[in-house]
Amino acid sequence: MSETPAIRLRQLNDAPLNQNGEFVLYWMTAFRRPFYNFALQRACEWSQNLRKPLLILEALRCDYPYASDRLHRFVLQGMADNAEHFSATPAGYYPYVETAKGAGKGLLKALAEKACLVVGDDHPGFFYPQMLSAAAEKLSVQFDVVDSNGLLPLRAADKAYPTAYAFRRFLQKNLPGHLFEFPLRDPVQEIELPSAPIIPTEMLFRWPEAGQNLLAENQQLSQLPIDHSVTVCDESGGWQEAEFYLRRFLDERLPHYLQRSEPDRQVSSELSAYLHFGHISSHQVTAELFAQEDWSIAKLGPETKGKKSGWWGLSESAESFLDELVTWREVGFNGAVYLPDYDRYSSLPEWARVSLAKHRKDPRASLYSLDQFERAQTHDPLWNAAQNQLLQEGKIQNYLRMLWGKKILEWSPDAETALQTMLYLNDKYALDGRDPNSVSGIFWCFGRYDRAWGPERPIFGKIRYMSSENTARKFSVKGYLRKYGGVKTQDGQLQLFANLNAAALDVADSAPAKPDHS
């Protein structure tokens, strides 16, 4: 029946398929998009095979961790895009937004009782695994989940890879076969479906559909029981905005992508939040990049030794971008699947934990509380500017995001506290937080996917060191400081970094052009 690759499919319960159900139910949770979505495609295939209508349930709870105006608005804008798109298709679309904690309890189960089966999104991060397991125990019909996370299926590997280099070697040997297995661009339109089902009136009475005034205009955010202190950003959610960002990147920024580490230049894709919320797929991004570069699989290089560039057979900028999108992004998902407690300190490589423990009691020149970090109240104007960008925009410039994490490690009483501070600030404020990809970026600051560095340093031990002084020496940061820190500079020299510390200019501060994650 299915064209969806079997390696991407899992059945989470032993309940039977209900041939007499009224519809096929797709529970859209992590892949909140109509395009390039293997889970939606699988639901369409079931709908066609069973000759039953397709109903798409996209719900938004109000009690998920870090629920706030910022995150809610981004998701709601995506739901508005989906409502508009699916209204012109044979699929039924049911958007539900909780207005009180627990108000949505029972909705999925009630719909499942009328369904042939339920198809869900197989995502390894945040609260998704626990949520899916809990649902599987309650549903009375077959519950399938589908992996539409990245180019490489989650279970194409059978272990966690310790470095990006090792994972890249695995990718180069195993990814080519999966490059023939892209999802359909628009499965609802490309697969013949019956007419949309009618949602039972009693369900709509108890769980009313979200109206456009909430989805599109977000006028009711203040009435929802979520954190209103984390304010909305200028950046809008949804697949339409994601496609705008993708086209802008391919048309204008891709040729300059190798300069993405420079704080005063903005040449990254800025797709990270859209990838996190599932508003766009890495398959779509890759497909459009391939089309622009006139790529074919015949251009893949013969060597599979893990080199960063040359394997794809694309321009240098495109190769660098794909290394971020595929290697660095998907190694995080690989860790989420195969590393026990991947978001806990105990999952760091042994050499890193040993080194950090050795320097646990080293004196710190500066120590800051969580509140001081959160309010951007350190002695370092560049770090404060990065934190201010996070507070205002829900993101930090690529290179400075790494520096931001390294300095929290330096200014915390111990590495465990530093990790908790970073996870809290990232998950609370970053639009792309709460994601295996951003988790791997944070853990990179503590040695994951990196190697031991010398000379051994106080506090850091063998963990790679970075400094604001050397960052300001390597890159122009004047514009960034003016925009996010209100700091004035003169004659190209940063007065605040005039007293450069010789120790801070060590070559160990040459961080790689890594976790932009986009």
pLDDT in tens, the chain (518 residues): 459 999 999 999 999 999 999 999 999 999 999 999 999 999 999 999 999 999 999 999 999 999 999 999 999 999 999 999 999 999 999 999 999 999 999 999 999 999 999 999 999 999 999 999 999 999 999 999 999 999 999 999 999 999 999 999 999 999 999 999 999 999 999 999 999 999 989 999 999 999 877 776 667 898 999 999 999 999 999 999 999 999 999 999 999 999 999 999 999 999 999 999 999 999 999 999 999 999 999 999 999 999 999 999 999 999 999 999 999 999 999 999 999 899 999 999 999 999 999 999 999 999 999 999 999 999 999 999 999 999 999 999 999 999 999 999 999 999 999 999 999 999 999 999 999 999 999 999 999 999 999 999 999 999 999 999 999 999 999 999 999 998 766 544 445 554 434 333 333 344 444 543 33
Q: Which of residues 294, 316, 338 is at a domain's end?
A: 338
Integer CA distances (angstroms), 189 to 48, 229, 278, 427, in order: 12, 41, 19, 36
Check whether residue 390 and residue 294 sit in a common domain.
Answer: no
Q: Is residue 177 part of a domain?
A: no
CATH number at residue 129: 3.40.50.620
Q: Is residue 174 part of a domain?
A: no
CATH number at residue 411: 1.10.579.10
CATH number at residue 305: 1.25.40.80
Check whether residue 497 and residue 357 sit in a common domain.
Answer: yes
Check whether residue 114 and residue 7 sit in a common domain.
Answer: yes
Check whether residue 364 and residue 504 sit in a common domain.
Answer: yes
- The conformational region for residue 517 under phi > 0 = left, psi -120 to 50 = alpha, else beta, is left
Integer CA distances (angstroms), 512 to 109, 177, 395, in order: 48, 29, 19
Check whether residue 251 and residue 372 sit in a common domain.
Answer: no
Check whether residue 271 and residue 359 sit in a common domain.
Answer: no
Parallel/antiparallel/unpaired status of strands 54-60 and 92-97: parallel
Q: Which of residues 148, 177, 210 is at a domain's end?
A: 148
Check whether residue 21 and residue 107 sit in a common domain.
Answer: yes
Check whether residue 292 and residue 388 sit in a common domain.
Answer: no
Check whether residue 267 and residue 373 sit in a common domain.
Answer: no
Check whether residue 365 and residue 274 sit in a common domain.
Answer: no
Q: Which of residues 148, 165, 189 is at a domain's end?
A: 148
Check whether residue 334 and residue 374 sit in a common domain.
Answer: no
Q: What backbone phi and psi angles, to 5 degrees, belong to 439?
A: -60, -45
- Give the count of domains, the chain: 3
Range of the domain at 460: 345-509
Q: Is residue 109 part of a domain?
A: yes
Check whether residue 16 and residue 118 sit in a common domain.
Answer: yes
Asked if residue 397 lies in contact with residue 260, where contact means CB atoms within 8 angstroms, the answer is no
Hey, what are 288's tokens? 């459009």
Q: Is residue 40 part of a domain?
A: yes
